[in-house]
Structure 1
Protein backbone atom coordinates (compact mmCIF):
# COMPACT_ATOMS: atom_id res chain seq x y z
CA UNK A 1 0.00 0.00 0.00
CA UNK A 2 1.36 3.41 -0.97
CA UNK A 3 2.34 5.69 1.90
CA UNK A 4 0.42 8.98 2.08
CA UNK A 5 2.46 12.13 1.55
CA UNK A 6 1.68 14.97 3.93
CA UNK A 7 1.19 18.57 2.82
CA UNK A 8 4.33 19.61 4.71
CA UNK A 9 6.36 16.99 2.83
CA UNK A 10 4.92 18.18 -0.49
CA UNK A 11 5.78 21.79 0.36
CA UNK A 12 9.32 20.79 1.36
CA UNK A 13 9.82 18.80 -1.83
CA UNK A 14 8.51 21.71 -3.92
CA UNK A 15 10.81 24.19 -2.16
CA UNK A 16 13.82 21.92 -2.68
CA UNK A 17 12.95 21.41 -6.36
CA UNK A 18 12.59 25.16 -6.95
CA UNK A 19 15.84 25.88 -5.10
CA UNK A 20 17.75 23.38 -7.23
CA UNK A 21 16.13 24.71 -10.40
CA UNK A 22 17.02 28.32 -9.57
CA UNK A 23 20.57 27.31 -8.66
CA UNK A 24 21.02 25.55 -12.02
CA UNK A 25 19.42 28.36 -14.03
CA UNK A 26 21.18 31.24 -12.22
CA UNK A 27 24.38 31.22 -14.37
CA UNK A 28 22.22 31.43 -17.51
CA UNK A 29 20.17 34.25 -15.99
CA UNK A 30 23.32 36.11 -14.98
CA UNK A 31 24.73 35.77 -18.50
CA UNK A 32 21.52 37.15 -20.01
CA UNK A 33 21.46 40.09 -17.60
CA UNK A 34 25.15 40.86 -18.17
CA UNK A 35 24.52 41.04 -21.91
CA UNK A 36 22.39 44.16 -21.29
CA UNK A 37 25.03 45.93 -19.18
CA UNK A 38 27.86 48.24 -20.18
CA UNK A 39 31.40 46.85 -19.89
CA UNK A 40 31.94 48.95 -16.76
CA UNK A 41 28.81 47.59 -15.10
CA UNK A 42 29.71 44.02 -16.12
CA UNK A 43 32.90 44.13 -14.05
CA UNK A 44 31.66 46.41 -11.25
CA UNK A 45 32.37 45.46 -7.63
CA UNK A 46 30.02 44.81 -5.93
CA UNK A 47 28.13 43.39 -8.92
CA UNK A 48 24.79 44.87 -9.91
CA UNK A 49 21.90 42.50 -10.50
CA UNK A 50 18.82 44.30 -11.84
CA UNK A 51 19.33 47.99 -11.15
CA UNK A 52 21.58 49.09 -13.99
CA UNK A 53 21.31 51.04 -17.24
CA UNK A 54 19.91 48.51 -19.72
CA UNK A 55 21.42 48.75 -23.18
CA UNK A 56 21.37 46.87 -26.50
CA UNK A 57 24.79 48.17 -27.50
CA UNK A 58 26.47 44.78 -26.96
CA UNK A 59 24.09 43.03 -29.35
CA UNK A 60 24.65 45.73 -31.95
CA UNK A 61 28.44 45.36 -31.69
CA UNK A 62 28.22 41.55 -31.90
CA UNK A 63 26.02 41.76 -35.01
CA UNK A 64 28.40 44.21 -36.66
CA UNK A 65 31.50 42.18 -35.79
CA UNK A 66 30.25 38.67 -36.64
CA UNK A 67 27.95 37.01 -39.13
CA UNK A 68 25.67 35.44 -36.53
CA UNK A 69 23.33 33.80 -39.04
CA UNK A 70 26.20 31.90 -40.67
CA UNK A 71 27.29 30.47 -37.32
CA UNK A 72 23.67 29.68 -36.47
CA UNK A 73 23.11 27.86 -39.78
CA UNK A 74 26.30 25.82 -39.27
CA UNK A 75 25.09 24.78 -35.81
CA UNK A 76 21.67 23.76 -37.12
CA UNK A 77 23.18 21.71 -39.97
CA UNK A 78 25.80 20.02 -37.77
CA UNK A 79 23.46 19.22 -34.86
CA UNK A 80 20.54 18.23 -37.08
CA UNK A 81 22.65 16.24 -39.53
CA UNK A 82 24.47 14.29 -36.82
CA UNK A 83 21.14 13.52 -35.12
CA UNK A 84 19.49 12.17 -38.27
CA UNK A 85 22.57 10.17 -39.29
CA UNK A 86 22.89 8.77 -35.76
CA UNK A 87 19.26 7.62 -35.75
CA UNK A 88 19.63 5.93 -39.14
CA UNK A 89 22.48 3.85 -37.73
CA UNK A 90 21.22 3.44 -34.16
CA UNK A 91 17.64 2.25 -34.83
CA UNK A 92 18.66 -1.01 -36.56
CA UNK A 93 21.47 -1.55 -34.04
CA UNK A 94 19.16 -1.06 -31.04
CA UNK A 95 16.52 -3.26 -32.69
CA UNK A 96 18.96 -6.15 -33.10
CA UNK A 97 20.17 -5.84 -29.50
CA UNK A 98 16.65 -5.59 -28.09
CA UNK A 99 14.89 -8.31 -30.09
CA UNK A 100 17.73 -10.59 -31.24
CA UNK A 101 19.79 -10.63 -28.05
CA UNK A 102 22.92 -12.68 -27.53
CA UNK A 103 25.14 -13.44 -24.58
CA UNK A 104 27.41 -10.60 -25.64
CA UNK A 105 24.73 -7.90 -25.93
CA UNK A 106 25.39 -6.35 -22.52
CA UNK A 107 29.14 -6.52 -23.08
CA UNK A 108 28.77 -4.70 -26.39
CA UNK A 109 26.56 -2.02 -24.82
CA UNK A 110 29.02 -1.50 -21.97
CA UNK A 111 31.91 -1.32 -24.44
CA UNK A 112 30.05 1.29 -26.48
CA UNK A 113 29.34 3.33 -23.37
CA UNK A 114 32.97 3.04 -22.24
CA UNK A 115 34.06 4.95 -25.35
CA UNK A 116 32.37 8.03 -23.85
CA UNK A 117 34.88 7.85 -21.00
CA UNK A 118 37.83 8.22 -23.39
CA UNK A 119 39.45 11.67 -23.16
CA UNK A 120 38.66 13.40 -26.44
CA UNK A 121 42.14 14.91 -26.66
CA UNK A 122 43.56 11.37 -26.79
CA UNK A 123 42.18 10.82 -30.30
CA UNK A 124 42.30 14.41 -31.55
CA UNK A 125 45.62 14.09 -33.38
CA UNK A 126 44.77 10.98 -35.45
CA UNK A 127 41.31 12.30 -36.30
CA UNK A 128 42.83 15.64 -37.29
CA UNK A 129 45.27 13.89 -39.65
CA UNK A 130 42.48 11.72 -41.10
CA UNK A 131 40.37 14.81 -41.78
CA UNK A 132 43.28 16.49 -43.56
CA UNK A 133 43.88 13.35 -45.65
CA UNK A 134 40.19 13.11 -46.60
CA UNK A 135 39.87 16.83 -47.24
CA UNK A 136 37.01 17.32 -44.77
CA UNK A 137 38.80 19.52 -42.24
CA UNK A 138 36.77 22.66 -41.49
CA UNK A 139 33.69 21.27 -43.24
CA UNK A 140 30.18 20.64 -41.98
CA UNK A 141 30.37 17.09 -43.34
CA UNK A 142 33.35 16.29 -41.15
CA UNK A 143 31.72 17.73 -38.04
CA UNK A 144 28.46 15.86 -38.71
CA UNK A 145 30.40 12.59 -38.80
CA UNK A 146 32.34 13.36 -35.62
CA UNK A 147 29.25 14.50 -33.70
CA UNK A 148 27.37 11.40 -34.78
CA UNK A 149 30.20 9.10 -33.67
CA UNK A 150 30.72 10.66 -30.24
CA UNK A 151 26.98 10.60 -29.44
CA UNK A 152 26.15 7.26 -31.08
CA UNK A 153 26.67 5.19 -27.87
CA UNK A 154 24.10 7.32 -26.01
CA UNK A 155 21.61 7.08 -28.89
CA UNK A 156 21.92 3.29 -29.07
CA UNK A 157 21.62 2.93 -25.28
CA UNK A 158 18.49 5.09 -25.09
CA UNK A 159 16.80 3.42 -28.06
CA UNK A 160 17.69 -0.02 -26.73
CA UNK A 161 16.00 0.87 -23.42
CA UNK A 162 12.84 2.10 -25.19
CA UNK A 163 12.68 -0.86 -27.57
CA UNK A 164 12.93 -3.32 -24.67
CA UNK A 165 9.64 -1.94 -23.34
CA UNK A 166 7.76 -2.88 -26.54
CA UNK A 167 6.07 -6.32 -26.32
CA UNK A 168 7.87 -8.73 -28.62
CA UNK A 169 4.53 -10.44 -29.36
CA UNK A 170 3.50 -7.46 -31.50
CA UNK A 171 6.55 -7.86 -33.70
CA UNK A 172 6.00 -11.61 -33.92
CA UNK A 173 2.42 -11.01 -35.05
CA UNK A 174 3.63 -8.66 -37.79
CA UNK A 175 6.06 -11.33 -38.99
CA UNK A 176 3.25 -13.86 -39.13
CA UNK A 177 1.30 -11.39 -41.29
CA UNK A 178 4.20 -11.36 -43.74
CA UNK A 179 5.99 -8.14 -42.73
CA UNK A 180 9.61 -7.94 -43.85
CA UNK A 181 12.39 -6.78 -41.54
CA UNK A 182 12.35 -3.32 -43.10
CA UNK A 183 8.56 -3.04 -42.76
CA UNK A 184 8.75 -4.27 -39.17
CA UNK A 185 11.22 -1.57 -38.18
CA UNK A 186 9.62 1.28 -40.14
CA UNK A 187 5.88 0.58 -39.79
CA UNK A 188 5.63 -1.32 -36.47
CA UNK A 189 8.57 -0.60 -34.19
CA UNK A 190 9.31 3.04 -34.98
CA UNK A 191 5.71 4.38 -34.54
CA UNK A 192 5.39 2.59 -31.19
CA UNK A 193 8.65 4.12 -29.93
CA UNK A 194 7.98 7.67 -31.13
CA UNK A 195 8.18 9.22 -27.61
CA UNK A 196 11.52 7.54 -26.97
CA UNK A 197 12.89 8.38 -30.41
CA UNK A 198 11.77 12.01 -30.05
CA UNK A 199 13.47 12.41 -26.67
CA UNK A 200 16.61 10.74 -28.05
CA UNK A 201 16.62 13.16 -30.98
CA UNK A 202 16.22 16.16 -28.69
CA UNK A 203 18.96 15.04 -26.32
CA UNK A 204 21.38 14.28 -29.15
CA UNK A 205 20.60 17.61 -30.83
CA UNK A 206 21.34 19.46 -27.58
CA UNK A 207 24.59 17.53 -27.01
CA UNK A 208 25.76 18.23 -30.56
CA UNK A 209 24.74 21.90 -30.30
CA UNK A 210 26.74 22.37 -27.09
CA UNK A 211 29.85 20.44 -28.18
CA UNK A 212 32.85 22.77 -28.06
CA UNK A 213 36.03 20.66 -28.07
CA UNK A 214 35.68 19.16 -31.55
CA UNK A 215 34.14 22.23 -33.15
CA UNK A 216 36.97 24.45 -31.94
CA UNK A 217 39.71 22.04 -33.02
CA UNK A 218 38.33 20.83 -36.35
CA UNK A 219 37.08 24.15 -37.75
CA UNK A 220 38.61 27.48 -38.60
CA UNK A 221 36.08 29.66 -40.40
CA UNK A 222 33.95 27.91 -43.01
CA UNK A 223 32.09 25.40 -40.80
CA UNK A 224 32.45 27.17 -37.45
CA UNK A 225 29.26 26.82 -35.35
CA UNK A 226 28.04 28.94 -32.46
CA UNK A 227 30.58 27.49 -30.01
CA UNK A 228 33.34 29.03 -32.16
CA UNK A 229 31.24 32.20 -32.36
CA UNK A 230 31.40 32.48 -28.56
CA UNK A 231 35.10 31.61 -28.38
CA UNK A 232 35.91 34.38 -30.85
CA UNK A 233 35.15 36.94 -28.11
CA UNK A 234 38.11 35.76 -26.05
CA UNK A 235 40.95 37.79 -27.51
CA UNK A 236 44.52 38.81 -26.56
CA UNK A 237 43.14 42.25 -25.74
CA UNK A 238 41.18 40.69 -22.88
CA UNK A 239 37.71 39.47 -22.07
CA UNK A 240 34.87 41.87 -22.79
CA UNK A 241 32.30 40.32 -20.47
CA UNK A 242 29.26 42.25 -21.65
CA UNK A 243 29.88 41.48 -25.33
CA UNK A 244 30.87 37.89 -24.50
CA UNK A 245 27.59 37.53 -22.59
CA UNK A 246 25.64 38.94 -25.53
CA UNK A 247 27.30 36.42 -27.88
CA UNK A 248 26.60 33.60 -25.41
CA UNK A 249 22.96 34.63 -25.07
CA UNK A 250 22.53 34.66 -28.85
CA UNK A 251 24.12 31.20 -29.01
CA UNK A 252 22.02 29.57 -26.31
CA UNK A 253 18.72 31.30 -27.12
CA UNK A 254 17.66 28.87 -29.91
CA UNK A 255 18.34 25.77 -27.82
CA UNK A 256 16.62 27.30 -24.77
CA UNK A 257 13.52 28.02 -26.85
CA UNK A 258 13.60 24.50 -28.32
CA UNK A 259 13.95 22.97 -24.87
CA UNK A 260 11.12 25.08 -23.46
CA UNK A 261 8.61 24.12 -26.14
CA UNK A 262 9.65 20.45 -26.24
CA UNK A 263 9.98 19.86 -22.49
CA UNK A 264 6.72 17.89 -22.34
CA UNK A 265 7.85 15.57 -25.12
CA UNK A 266 11.30 15.24 -23.59
CA UNK A 267 9.97 14.28 -20.16
CA UNK A 268 7.49 11.87 -21.72
CA UNK A 269 10.25 10.20 -23.68
CA UNK A 270 12.69 9.98 -20.78
CA UNK A 271 10.02 8.35 -18.60
CA UNK A 272 8.78 6.06 -21.40
CA UNK A 273 8.29 2.58 -19.96
CA UNK A 274 9.05 3.66 -16.39
CA UNK A 275 5.47 3.11 -15.22
CA UNK A 276 3.44 0.06 -16.16
Structure 2
Protein backbone atom coordinates (compact mmCIF):
# COMPACT_ATOMS: atom_id res chain seq x y z
CA UNK A 1 0.00 0.00 0.00
CA UNK A 2 2.86 2.35 0.85
CA UNK A 3 4.50 1.66 -2.53
CA UNK A 4 1.26 2.48 -4.35
CA UNK A 5 0.94 5.72 -2.42
CA UNK A 6 4.55 6.65 -3.16
CA UNK A 7 4.18 5.78 -6.85
CA UNK A 8 0.95 7.79 -7.10
CA UNK A 9 2.57 10.76 -5.41
CA UNK A 10 5.53 10.63 -7.79
CA UNK A 11 3.17 10.40 -10.74
CA UNK A 12 1.20 13.42 -9.56
CA UNK A 13 4.33 15.45 -8.87
CA UNK A 14 5.82 14.53 -12.24
CA UNK A 15 2.61 15.58 -13.98
CA UNK A 16 2.58 18.91 -12.13
CA UNK A 17 6.23 19.58 -12.97
CA UNK A 18 5.74 18.79 -16.64
CA UNK A 19 2.60 20.94 -16.78
CA UNK A 20 4.43 23.89 -15.25
CA UNK A 21 7.39 23.34 -17.60
CA UNK A 22 5.11 23.40 -20.63
CA UNK A 23 3.37 26.56 -19.40
CA UNK A 24 6.71 28.30 -18.81
CA UNK A 25 8.26 27.17 -22.10
CA UNK A 26 5.19 27.70 -24.29
CA UNK A 27 5.76 31.46 -24.92
CA UNK A 28 9.28 30.69 -26.14
CA UNK A 29 7.94 27.94 -28.42
CA UNK A 30 5.20 30.22 -29.74
CA UNK A 31 7.71 32.99 -30.46
CA UNK A 32 9.91 30.49 -32.32
CA UNK A 33 6.99 29.24 -34.43
CA UNK A 34 5.72 32.76 -35.16
CA UNK A 35 9.14 33.74 -36.48
CA UNK A 36 8.57 31.34 -39.41
CA UNK A 37 5.16 32.77 -40.31
CA UNK A 38 4.20 35.59 -42.61
CA UNK A 39 2.79 38.74 -41.01
CA UNK A 40 -0.70 37.76 -42.16
CA UNK A 41 -0.42 34.28 -40.66
CA UNK A 42 1.06 35.66 -37.42
CA UNK A 43 -2.09 37.69 -36.69
CA UNK A 44 -4.58 35.20 -38.12
CA UNK A 45 -7.49 34.05 -35.94
CA UNK A 46 -7.84 31.34 -34.92
CA UNK A 47 -4.06 31.07 -34.58
CA UNK A 48 -2.24 28.39 -36.54
CA UNK A 49 0.10 26.32 -34.40
CA UNK A 50 2.05 23.98 -36.71
CA UNK A 51 0.10 23.71 -39.96
CA UNK A 52 1.08 26.84 -41.84
CA UNK A 53 3.40 27.79 -44.68
CA UNK A 54 6.86 28.05 -43.14
CA UNK A 55 9.17 30.82 -44.35
CA UNK A 56 12.57 32.21 -43.38
CA UNK A 57 12.00 35.63 -44.94
CA UNK A 58 11.67 37.25 -41.50
CA UNK A 59 15.22 36.26 -40.55
CA UNK A 60 16.57 37.54 -43.85
CA UNK A 61 14.80 40.89 -43.45
CA UNK A 62 15.83 41.25 -39.80
CA UNK A 63 19.50 40.69 -40.61
CA UNK A 64 19.38 43.02 -43.61
CA UNK A 65 17.73 45.76 -41.59
CA UNK A 66 19.46 45.59 -38.21
CA UNK A 67 22.89 43.89 -38.44
CA UNK A 68 22.32 41.17 -35.87
CA UNK A 69 26.00 40.34 -35.40
CA UNK A 70 26.86 43.91 -34.36
CA UNK A 71 24.27 43.78 -31.56
CA UNK A 72 25.29 40.23 -30.68
CA UNK A 73 28.93 41.26 -30.24
CA UNK A 74 27.85 44.16 -28.02
CA UNK A 75 25.77 41.83 -25.85
CA UNK A 76 28.67 39.39 -25.47
CA UNK A 77 31.16 42.12 -24.57
CA UNK A 78 28.82 43.90 -22.16
CA UNK A 79 27.54 40.78 -20.35
CA UNK A 80 30.95 39.10 -20.06
CA UNK A 81 32.76 42.33 -19.23
CA UNK A 82 30.33 43.40 -16.50
CA UNK A 83 30.28 39.90 -14.96
CA UNK A 84 34.07 39.48 -14.92
CA UNK A 85 34.57 42.98 -13.51
CA UNK A 86 31.94 42.24 -10.89
CA UNK A 87 33.73 39.01 -9.90
CA UNK A 88 37.06 40.83 -9.58
CA UNK A 89 35.45 43.27 -7.15
CA UNK A 90 33.15 40.79 -5.39
CA UNK A 91 35.58 37.94 -4.61
CA UNK A 92 37.78 39.94 -2.17
CA UNK A 93 34.69 41.72 -0.83
CA UNK A 94 32.87 38.47 -0.11
CA UNK A 95 36.07 37.00 1.36
CA UNK A 96 36.35 39.91 3.82
CA UNK A 97 32.70 39.59 4.83
CA UNK A 98 32.85 35.81 5.21
CA UNK A 99 36.19 35.38 6.97
CA UNK A 100 36.81 38.76 8.61
CA UNK A 101 33.33 39.93 9.58
CA UNK A 102 32.61 42.96 11.72
CA UNK A 103 29.53 44.05 13.64
CA UNK A 104 28.37 45.94 10.58
CA UNK A 105 28.80 43.12 8.05
CA UNK A 106 25.15 42.03 8.06
CA UNK A 107 24.01 45.65 7.90
CA UNK A 108 26.22 46.24 4.87
CA UNK A 109 24.88 43.11 3.17
CA UNK A 110 21.30 44.21 3.80
CA UNK A 111 22.08 47.69 2.51
CA UNK A 112 23.59 46.23 -0.66
CA UNK A 113 20.52 44.07 -1.17
CA UNK A 114 18.20 47.03 -0.55
CA UNK A 115 19.70 48.84 -3.54
CA UNK A 116 18.06 46.22 -5.77
CA UNK A 117 14.66 47.19 -4.38
CA UNK A 118 14.76 50.73 -5.75
CA UNK A 119 13.00 51.19 -9.12
CA UNK A 120 15.71 51.84 -11.74
CA UNK A 121 13.75 54.76 -13.17
CA UNK A 122 14.39 56.61 -9.90
CA UNK A 123 18.06 56.95 -10.83
CA UNK A 124 17.66 57.28 -14.59
CA UNK A 125 17.94 61.07 -14.93
CA UNK A 126 21.13 61.58 -12.85
CA UNK A 127 22.78 58.51 -14.39
CA UNK A 128 21.82 59.65 -17.91
CA UNK A 129 23.20 63.15 -17.30
CA UNK A 130 26.37 61.71 -15.78
CA UNK A 131 26.90 59.46 -18.80
CA UNK A 132 26.15 62.29 -21.24
CA UNK A 133 28.56 64.74 -19.63
CA UNK A 134 31.35 62.17 -19.18
CA UNK A 135 31.15 60.85 -22.75
CA UNK A 136 30.04 57.33 -21.78
CA UNK A 137 26.61 57.58 -23.39
CA UNK A 138 26.18 54.88 -26.04
CA UNK A 139 29.52 53.26 -25.14
CA UNK A 140 30.39 49.71 -24.18
CA UNK A 141 32.52 50.90 -21.28
CA UNK A 142 29.60 52.84 -19.84
CA UNK A 143 27.22 49.87 -20.11
CA UNK A 144 29.80 47.52 -18.59
CA UNK A 145 30.18 49.92 -15.65
CA UNK A 146 26.45 50.38 -15.00
CA UNK A 147 25.62 46.67 -15.32
CA UNK A 148 28.51 45.83 -12.99
CA UNK A 149 27.11 48.18 -10.35
CA UNK A 150 23.57 46.87 -10.85
CA UNK A 151 24.49 43.18 -10.44
CA UNK A 152 27.29 43.62 -7.90
CA UNK A 153 25.01 43.14 -4.84
CA UNK A 154 23.79 39.81 -6.23
CA UNK A 155 27.35 38.68 -7.00
CA UNK A 156 28.57 39.59 -3.51
CA UNK A 157 25.61 37.93 -1.82
CA UNK A 158 26.02 34.69 -3.78
CA UNK A 159 29.78 34.50 -3.23
CA UNK A 160 29.38 35.37 0.46
CA UNK A 161 26.96 32.45 0.83
CA UNK A 162 29.37 30.04 -0.88
CA UNK A 163 32.42 31.27 1.03
CA UNK A 164 30.63 30.84 4.37
CA UNK A 165 30.42 27.10 3.64
CA UNK A 166 34.22 26.81 3.41
CA UNK A 167 35.93 25.98 6.74
CA UNK A 168 38.04 28.90 7.90
CA UNK A 169 40.62 26.47 9.30
CA UNK A 170 41.74 25.66 5.76
CA UNK A 171 42.60 29.29 5.10
CA UNK A 172 44.34 29.56 8.46
CA UNK A 173 46.45 26.53 7.57
CA UNK A 174 47.42 28.20 4.28
CA UNK A 175 48.50 31.32 6.18
CA UNK A 176 50.59 29.24 8.57
CA UNK A 177 52.32 27.73 5.55
CA UNK A 178 53.28 31.23 4.45
CA UNK A 179 50.59 31.95 1.86
CA UNK A 180 50.07 35.64 1.18
CA UNK A 181 46.58 37.12 0.91
CA UNK A 182 46.73 37.05 -2.90
CA UNK A 183 47.83 33.39 -2.94
CA UNK A 184 45.18 32.52 -0.38
CA UNK A 185 42.49 33.99 -2.63
CA UNK A 186 43.82 32.57 -5.90
CA UNK A 187 45.22 29.16 -4.92
CA UNK A 188 43.10 28.15 -1.93
CA UNK A 189 39.74 29.92 -1.80
CA UNK A 190 38.94 30.16 -5.50
CA UNK A 191 39.48 26.45 -6.35
CA UNK A 192 37.38 25.36 -3.35
CA UNK A 193 34.53 27.72 -4.26
CA UNK A 194 34.78 27.09 -8.01
CA UNK A 195 31.27 25.58 -8.37
CA UNK A 196 29.76 28.58 -6.62
CA UNK A 197 31.85 31.05 -8.62
CA UNK A 198 30.91 29.30 -11.87
CA UNK A 199 27.18 29.42 -11.08
CA UNK A 200 27.50 33.09 -10.08
CA UNK A 201 29.29 33.79 -13.36
CA UNK A 202 26.64 32.06 -15.45
CA UNK A 203 23.68 33.56 -13.62
CA UNK A 204 25.02 37.10 -13.90
CA UNK A 205 25.84 36.68 -17.57
CA UNK A 206 22.17 35.81 -18.05
CA UNK A 207 21.04 38.81 -15.97
CA UNK A 208 23.31 41.18 -17.89
CA UNK A 209 22.29 39.68 -21.24
CA UNK A 210 18.59 40.22 -20.44
CA UNK A 211 18.94 43.71 -18.94
CA UNK A 212 16.69 46.00 -20.95
CA UNK A 213 15.98 49.17 -18.98
CA UNK A 214 19.49 50.59 -18.84
CA UNK A 215 20.60 49.36 -22.24
CA UNK A 216 17.56 50.90 -23.93
CA UNK A 217 18.08 54.26 -22.23
CA UNK A 218 21.89 54.50 -22.37
CA UNK A 219 22.60 53.04 -25.82
CA UNK A 220 21.22 53.84 -29.25
CA UNK A 221 23.44 52.46 -32.01
CA UNK A 222 27.18 52.05 -31.45
CA UNK A 223 26.96 50.08 -28.18
CA UNK A 224 23.37 48.85 -28.57
CA UNK A 225 23.00 45.19 -27.47
CA UNK A 226 20.32 42.70 -28.48
CA UNK A 227 17.69 44.25 -26.20
CA UNK A 228 17.80 47.37 -28.38
CA UNK A 229 17.80 45.12 -31.44
CA UNK A 230 14.46 43.61 -30.31
CA UNK A 231 12.93 46.96 -29.32
CA UNK A 232 13.58 48.38 -32.80
CA UNK A 233 10.73 46.20 -34.13
CA UNK A 234 8.16 47.96 -31.97
CA UNK A 235 7.20 51.15 -33.80
CA UNK A 236 4.40 53.73 -33.74
CA UNK A 237 3.05 52.15 -36.92
CA UNK A 238 2.35 48.95 -34.98
CA UNK A 239 3.94 45.64 -34.10
CA UNK A 240 5.30 43.40 -36.82
CA UNK A 241 4.76 40.17 -34.94
CA UNK A 242 6.57 37.83 -37.32
CA UNK A 243 9.67 40.01 -37.58
CA UNK A 244 9.57 40.80 -33.87
CA UNK A 245 9.43 37.07 -33.14
CA UNK A 246 12.37 36.44 -35.47
CA UNK A 247 14.40 39.17 -33.75
CA UNK A 248 13.46 37.80 -30.31
CA UNK A 249 14.41 34.25 -31.31
CA UNK A 250 17.79 35.42 -32.61
CA UNK A 251 18.37 37.36 -29.38
CA UNK A 252 17.42 34.64 -26.89
CA UNK A 253 18.88 31.67 -28.78
CA UNK A 254 22.51 32.17 -27.59
CA UNK A 255 21.56 32.51 -23.93
CA UNK A 256 19.17 29.55 -24.14
CA UNK A 257 21.94 27.41 -25.61
CA UNK A 258 24.34 28.59 -22.88
CA UNK A 259 21.79 27.78 -20.20
CA UNK A 260 21.09 24.37 -21.70
CA UNK A 261 24.73 23.28 -21.76
CA UNK A 262 25.54 24.80 -18.35
CA UNK A 263 22.42 23.65 -16.48
CA UNK A 264 24.32 20.98 -14.55
CA UNK A 265 26.90 23.54 -13.44
CA UNK A 266 24.16 25.97 -12.47
CA UNK A 267 22.35 23.38 -10.35
CA UNK A 268 25.61 22.22 -8.82
CA UNK A 269 26.62 25.75 -7.94
CA UNK A 270 23.22 26.82 -6.62
CA UNK A 271 23.11 23.76 -4.33
CA UNK A 272 26.76 24.13 -3.30
CA UNK A 273 26.96 23.78 0.47
CA UNK A 274 23.30 22.85 0.81
CA UNK A 275 24.15 19.36 2.09
CA UNK A 276 26.69 19.05 4.88
Once the 2 structures are TM-superposed, how far is the Cα of residue 8 of structure 1 from its aligned partner?
1.0
Matches of 1:19 and 1:178, distance apart in 2: 56
Q: Is residue 94 of structure 2 the alignment partner of residue 94 of structure 1?
A: yes
Q: Distance in 2 between matches of 1:186 and 1:212?
A: 34
C-alpha distance in 2 between matches for 1:206 and 1:214: 15
Q: After superposition, give the CA deviation of every residue in 1:170-193 in whole Å (9 maximum; x if it has no partner).
A: 001000001011110110000000
- 1:24 counterpart residue number: 24
Residue 264 of structure 1 is matched in structure 2 by 264
Question: C-alpha deviations, 1:80-135, integer Å up to 9, x for none?
Answer: 00000000000000000000011111111111000000110000110111111211
Deviation at 1:138, TM superposition (A): 0.3
1:132 matched residue in structure 2 = 132
Distance 1:5 1:69, change over 3 A: farther
- State the 1:224 CA deviation: 0.2
Aligned structure 1 segments of 4 or more residues deviating by more than 6 angstroms: none
* Aligned counterpart, 1:67: 67
Where does the alignment leave 5 or more consecutive residues of structure 2 unmatched?
A: none
- 2:187 aligned partner: 187
Other-structure match for 1:105: 105
Cα drift, residue 14 of structure 1? 1.0
Instruction: Give the structure 2 partner of residue 173 of structure 1.
Output: 173
CA distance in 2, matches of 1:220, 1:240: 20
Trace 1:149-164 onto structure 2 (pairs within 5 A): 149-164=149-164
- Residue 242 of structure 1 corresponds to 242
Report the Cα distance in structure 2 between the residues aligned to 1:188 and 1:69, rounded to whole angstroms: 40
Shift of 1:5: 7.5
Could you tell me how far apart the structure 1 residues matched to 2:132 and 2:49 are? Answer: 47
Which moved further from structure 2: 233-242 or 85-94?
233-242
**Aligned ranges for residues 190-269 of structure 1 at < 5 Å?**
190-269=190-269
1:11, distance to aligned residue in structure 2 (A): 1.2
CA distance in 1, matches of 2:130, 2:229: 25
Secondary structure at the aligned position of 1:51 is classed as coil
Which digits, 9 at most, give the CA deviation of each residue in 1:119-174, with x for residues without a partner?
10000110111111211110000000000000000000000000000011100100
Segments of structure 1 that go 5 or more residues without pairing to the other structure are: none
SS of 1:6 mapped into structure 2: helix
1:146: which partner in 2?
A: 146
What is the SS of the residue equivalent to 2:143?
A: helix
- C-alpha separation in 2, matches of 1:262 and 1:5: 35
CA distance in 2, matches of 1:21, 1:170: 42
C-alpha separation in 2, matches of 1:162 and 1:197: 8
Residue of structure 2 in register with 1:41 after alignment: 41
Q: Could you state the TM-score of these two structures normalised by the residue count of structure 1?
A: 0.98
TM superposition shift of 1:12:
1.1
Aligned length: 274
